[in-house]
Chains A and B, each alone.
Chain A
Amino acid sequence: MLDLQDILKTFNPGTANEVRALRGVTLTLERGSFLIIIGTNGSGKSTLLNAVAGTFRVDSGSITLAGQDITGQPEHRRARLIGRVFQNPFSGTAPNMSIAENLALAARRGQPRGLGWALDHKLRAQIRDRIRSLNMGLEDRIDNAIGTLSGGQRQALTLLMASWLKPDLLLLDEHTAALDPKSADQVIRLTHEIIQRDQLTTLMVTHSMQQAVHLGDRIIMMHRGQVLHDLRGAERARVRQEDLLNRFDAVRRREQLDSGVADLLQSHYV
């Protein structure tokens, strides 16, 4: 379904701020699989999702999604295949437009937009139905500006928007990190429901080990722009929160060792 071959991405190449954010990521995802991505800060998780979404062009490597080579396509062209929820609840919705208008925009994701009415009775009824299923009491407020809602409500709506037309790939980048625990739980439950119901192929970044072990059918751990661990099948089924934390510790110890060695070398030779 999704096939990444040896993706490289360096930000600000040749300058003092050079960051090699992705250093050869190869990853294949079957249709319907739900991949959880964990990793330390700055390990390249968001960059990987952005590379797939097309926020920037990768330096080398190829990206194939649903049988199409999308490596060179701009972000808005890839959008017909990809639904997306950002970390920041403000990123996924247009605050000054109504709930209904936002969903109407999502209902045409990736399709040509002409001079037909954005909202008709049928669509409004559909929107009200789907919003009712969120159980947030928003179904009577679909003409209110989305900017008046809480972060959790906005994130739930963004999820609804991203999945309105079943995307070939759903990208979730720490989409509950900015929420209070209660809203986060609610959004995670909704995420689970939608992915289950529509059998969506999903990439989800999270910092929560609890989410990592309870959701999804495969876990990768990234480190320094590479995939360090890839847990699937029986190994994935056995894994517990402690195991993941141990792996983080191991990475951290190795880092310290590395910097210790560097100091040693420096004191000896410089």
Chain B
Amino acid sequence: MTLLIGAATIGLVLALLALGVYLSFRIFNFPDITADGSITLGAAVASILLVHHWSPVVATLAGFMSGVVAGTLTGVLHTKFKINGLLSGILVMTALYSVNLHVMGKSNIPLLNESTLANQAESLATRLLGGGKSEFLLAGWTVGVRDAALLIGVLLVVIAVGLTLYLFFRTNLGTAMRAAGDNPQMVCALGVSVDFIIILGLALSNGLIALSGALLAQYQGFADVQMGIGIVVWGLASVIIGEALVGTKKIGVLITGAVMGSVLFRLLVAIALRWGLNPNDLKLITAAFVFAALVTPAALRKLRLASKPAAT
């Protein structure tokens, strides 16, 4: 049970990453690799502030803002300097590796003794339950107070972020952003600077990803300069699973789908590891999965066309 709760919690934390990836990859069709650097950046900034006894809320928001800056940079490289999108992301991601080391001052910051959102949630839950119990019974299962508090806390954050994102996409600005991904020529003809919208979108996307990193560091109790490597593929996997789960193009449903996809993906990973999957193979398998998910729809379509008699 503890294992499943833990997996679900990480899934929810990484759902913010999935939302960020959804924004860049699905709304703009922009393969933004900055994610690998910005998730670590968010973790690094939040952690170093926590070590210096800043309020956890402020530290987390600062983590979010650092991602906004990183995304803006990628967007400016792409739109103003006309650098290929993939390359812009790679440049910023590479630069961020050094930046992150500078921010952290070393390659790993432990947070176990700091006042983090995780610790605050735990102490709040303990106080609410009354008494100093560290476990309670739920439908016959023993559940750790800390585990439950974190799961609920993260769930609330994800709901708030998802809802905000959904509402944003229904504003004038958000509608223009979705349209810019759908048909940039039209949006430009209607008076929207596509460059500005791309920069804004990437800023928002990387802000969410960095927020995910800030929460992840507080959940697992440390920030590590390596923690972002390959993470964009995980986000992608979540988005793809989510789309398969919901199967529509309605924006609200897709947001929910990305969250569910992230949780499901984490649960699957946890179970696979439990069954003896070599952790070293995890990234290989994830990459293979994303590959399969990306090519299958097109392959299916081709098969269907081939099996149909020639149109008259």
When A108-B172, A119-B170 are in contact, do A75 and B189 touch as well, CB less than 8 Å? yes
Query: Are the C-beta atoms of B193 and A74 separated by less than 8 Å?
Result: yes
Q: Tell yes or no: A97 within 8 A of B by CB.
A: yes
Chain A residues 71-123 with CB under 8 Å of chain B are 74-77, 79-80, 82, 84, 86, 90-97, 101-102, 104-106, 108-111, 113-119
Query: Are the C-beta atoms of A91 and B183 separated by less than 8 Å?
Result: yes
Q: Tell yes or no: B178 within 8 A of A by CB.
A: yes
Query: Are the C-beta atoms of A79 and B171 separated by less than 8 Å?
Result: no
Chain A residues lying within 8 Å of B183, measured Cβ to Cβ, are 90-91, 93-95
Q: Tell yes or no: A145 within 8 A of B by CB.
A: yes
Bound complex: CA of A117 vs CA of B172, how far in Å?
6
Query: Are the C-beta atoms of A92 and B186 separated by less than 8 Å?
Result: yes
Chain A residue nearest to B185 in the complex (CB) = A91
Query: Are the C-beta atoms of B189 and A115 separated by less than 8 Å?
Result: no
Contact of B188 among A76, A90, A96, A161 (CB under 8 A): A76
Q: Tell yes or no: B182 within 8 A of A by CB.
A: yes
Q: Tell yes or no: B211 within 8 A of A by CB.
A: no
When A92-B186, A96-B249 are in contact, do A115 and B172 touch as well, CB less than 8 Å? yes
Chain A residues lying within 8 Å of B192, measured Cβ to Cβ, are 76, 79, 113
Query: Are the C-beta atoms of B193 and A76 separated by less than 8 Å?
Result: yes
Query: Are the C-beta atoms of B190 and A79 separated by less than 8 Å?
Result: yes
Bound complex: CA of A110 vs CA of B192, how far in Å?
7
Q: Tell yes or no: A53 within 8 A of B by CB.
A: yes
Q: Tell yes or no: B187 within 8 A of A by CB.
A: yes
Distance in Å: Cβ of A116 to nearest Cβ of chain B: 6
Q: Tell yes or no: B176 within 8 A of A by CB.
A: yes
Chain B interface helix/strand/loop/mixed: helix
Contact code string B164-207 (vs A, CB < 8 Å = 1, else 0): 00001011111110110011011111111110000000000000
Query: Are the C-beta atoms of B171 and A97 separated by less than 8 Å?
Result: no
Distance in Å: Cβ of A267 to nearest Cβ of chain B: 47
Contact of B187 among A105, A114, A116 (CB under 8 A): A105
Bound complex: CA of A116 vs CA of B191, how far in Å?
17
Number of interface residues of A (CB under 8 A): 36
Distance in Å: Cβ of B113 to nearest Cβ of chain A: 40
Bound complex: CA of A92 vs CA of B249, how far in Å?
20
Interface size class of B (residues with CB under 8 A): 20 to 34
Query: Are the C-beta atoms of B191 and A76 separated by less than 8 Å?
Result: yes
Query: Are the C-beta atoms of A114 and B172 separated by less than 8 Å?
Result: yes
Chain A residues lying within 8 Å of B193, measured Cβ to Cβ, are 74, 76
Query: Are the C-beta atoms of B182 and A117 separated by less than 8 Å?
Result: no
Chain B residues lying within 8 Å of A86, measured Cβ to Cβ, are 185
Chain A interface helix/strand/loop/mixed: loop
Chain A residues lying within 8 Å of B191, measured Cβ to Cβ, are 76-77, 79-80, 108-111
Query: Are the C-beta atoms of A97 and B185 separated by less than 8 Å?
Result: no
Chain B residues lying within 8 Å of A114, measured Cβ to Cβ, are 171-173
Chain B residue nearest to A54 in the complex (CB) = B188
Distance in Å: Cβ of B196 to nearest Cβ of chain A: 9
Chain B residues lying within 8 Å of A94, measured Cβ to Cβ, are 178-179, 182-183, 186-187
Bound complex: CA of A203 vs CA of B13, how far in Å?
54
Query: Are the C-beta atoms of B249 and A145 separated by less than 8 Å?
Result: yes
Query: Are the C-beta atoms of A76 and B182 separated by less than 8 Å?
Result: no
Chain B residues lying within 8 Å of A108, measured Cβ to Cβ, are 172, 190-191
Contact of A106 among B170, B173, B185, B190 (CB under 8 A): B190
Chain A residues lying within 8 Å of B249, measured Cβ to Cβ, are 96, 145
Bound complex: CA of A94 vs CA of B191, how far in Å?
14
Chain B residue nearest to A83 in the complex (CB) = B189
Distance in Å: Cβ of A88 to nearest Cβ of chain B: 9
Contact code string A43-81 (vs B, CB < 8 Å = 1, else 0): 000000000010000000000000000000011110110
Chain B residue nearest to A80 in the complex (CB) = B191
Query: Are the C-beta atoms of B171 and A116 separated by less than 8 Å?
Result: yes
Bound complex: CA of A223 vs CA of B190, how far in Å?
30
Chain B residues lying within 8 Å of A119, measured Cβ to Cβ, are 170
Q: Which of B168, B186, B193, B194 has the most CB of A within 10 A?
A: B186
Bound complex: CA of A75 vs CA of B189, how far in Å?
7
Chain B residues lying within 8 Å of A102, measured Cβ to Cβ, are 179
A-B CB contact pairs (8 Å), 17 listed: A76-B188, A77-B191, A79-B189, A90-B183, A91-B186, A92-B189, A94-B179, A94-B187, A102-B179, A104-B172, A105-B179, A105-B190, A110-B191, A115-B171, A116-B171, A117-B171, A118-B175
- Known contacts A79-B188, A97-B178, A115-B173; 12 further A-B pairs (Cβ under 8 A): A76-B192, A91-B185, A92-B189, A93-B186, A94-B179, A104-B175, A105-B179, A109-B191, A113-B172, A114-B171, A114-B172, A118-B170
Ranked 8 nearest A-B pairs via Cβ: A79-B191, A110-B191, A94-B182, A113-B172, A118-B175, A94-B179, A94-B183, A115-B171
